[in-house]
Amino acid sequence: MAEQHPPIAGYDELPLGALQHRVRSLTEAELRALLDYERDHADRAPVVDLLVRRLGELEAGAEPSPGPEATPADTPHHSRAGSPVPPSGPAGTGQPTGHGTRGSTGKGAEHSE
């Protein structure tokens, strides 16, 4: 089976609210492909419902309505490819903070006896 790619760049990273606006620019064929992609991958009920509703609108005569932006503002600027924190953890002294430790009362020097 050939690898599927959604017709919206960064689709897997988009929150539902952003996706709701982005699917309005898709044709019926693109929307069907996206619905197949969603069902084959994450199969998120709210996303499937959104896509099915929009498909119904298109089938009833609605037209795709592309926005004016070449790259929409909601396009993610990050990647799932990795974390900026190395596996060894953040750099530092290696000493935990005093928050919640047995010897820490939360009182400053002015409260000492």
Q: Which residue has the higher pLDDT, 5 or 29?
A: 29
> Are 65 and 20 contacting, i.e. CB atoms less than 8 angstroms apart?
no
pLDDT in tens, 54-95: 999 999 999 998 765 555 555 555 565 666 666 666 566 666
> Distance between CA 69 and CA 71 in Å, rounded?
5
pTM score: 0.59
Cβ atoms 66, 33 nearer than 8 A: no
